[in-house]
Structure 1
Amino acid sequence: MAKGYWVAHVDVHDMETYKNYIVANGAAFAKYGAKFLVRGGERVEPEGQARSRTVVVEFPSYADAQACYESEAYQKAKALRDPVSTGDLVIIEGYDG
């Protein structure tokens, strides 16, 4: 079974308030077996443009990745994030070839 991933590109406008989202999303991520592969960090942009922060989260399956996003716990955390950030999120099935 292929793993599932969240790939997010985010501009954070208020990091102090955004930290509340980081704390709040932990319960949902734990429940669905999430593992952070990338959480900010140093980078270069050799092609195109990106937002200031990139995050990649791995889940045991694509279904888990979707269920986590749709969960009540994550949606409550997301409500803390939305007013202080702008982002793009893709939920994608990993390659199992």
Structure 2
Amino acid sequence: MTAYAVAHMRQARMGPQLVEYLQKIDATLDPFGGRFLVHGGDVEVIENKWPGHLIIIEFPDRQQVRRWYNSAAYQAILTLRTDNSESDVIFVDGVEHPHKATDVLDQT
């Protein structure tokens, strides 16, 4: 099942280290089938507040997300981001299609 690495980057301090992170992250994704779906961009806030940026990276499955995050290549650049930003990061599975909102009731 498709899985996603999702980050809510609430604050980022752009500088040489974050630039280096951005220059190197794509190469860490390739071996695990990762690709950006959302990478910052303008958000239209409809309810409440949304400080910062949204990043969504798609992977073939949860195992590949974990392998990417724990890979030596990604771990080598991780602190370039974490030392220069405040963000929340989660891994989440997608849904099988077709999917209806009521499908979650079967999981309880």
Q: Fold conserved (TM > 0.5)?
A: yes
Identical amino acids, percent of aligned pairs = 27
Give, in whole Å, the separation in 2 of the partners of 1:48 and 1:15: 30
Q: TM-score with structure 1 length normalisation?
A: 0.88
Q: Which runs of 5+ in 1 are unaligned?
A: none
Query: Residue 9 of structure 1 contacts residue 50 of structure 1 at CA under 8 Å; is this kept in 2?
Result: no
Query: Residue 51 of structure 1 contacts residue 87 of structure 1 at CA under 8 Å; is this kept in 2?
Result: no
Deviates more, 1:83-92 or 1:14-23: 14-23
Q: TM-score with structure 2 length normalisation?
A: 0.80
The residue that corresponds to 1:7 in the other structure is 6
Q: Which runs of 5+ in 2 are unaligned?
A: 98-108
The residue that corresponds to 1:34 in the other structure is 34
Amino acid aligned to 1:68: W
Matches within 5 A, 1:1-97: 2-10=1-9, 11-97=11-97
Query: Residue 62 of structure 1 contacts residue 94 of structure 1 at CA under 8 Å; is this kept in 2?
Result: no
